[in-house]
């Protein structure tokens, strides 16, 4: 089974906005949220056909 893993760093001051953006983009909230990261597991489909499993991690980048 193919998997797609994506890791995105977000600026600490805009982390909550980034979580909101990706929730809107994928049409659902993260499956796991902590103070320094948000994670979403799911399946990307196209025209109702299964394509690939995904794991997307958004982490807070502190400076």
Give 6's pLDDT tier (boundaries 50, 70, 90).
confident
- Residues near 49 by beta carbon (within 8 Å), at least 6 away in sequence: none
Confidence (pTM): 0.69
Neighbours of 60 (CB within 10 A): 19
**Per-residue pLDDT, 26:** 77
- The burial of 49, by beta-carbon neighbours within 10 Å (0-12 exposed, 13-18 middle, 19 or more buried), is given as exposed
Judge: domain 3-61, CATH 3.40.50.720. Answer: no
What is the domain partition of the chain in residue ranges? 3-61
């Amino acid at each position: 089974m193919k998997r797609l893993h994506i890791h995105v760093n977000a600026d600490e001051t805009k982390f909550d906005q980034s979580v909101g953006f990706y929730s809107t983009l994928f049409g659902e909230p993260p499956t796991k949220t902590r103070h320094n990261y948000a994670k979403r597991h799911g399946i990307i489909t196209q025209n109702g056909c299964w394509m690939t499993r995904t794991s997307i991690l958004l982490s807070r980048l502190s400076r």
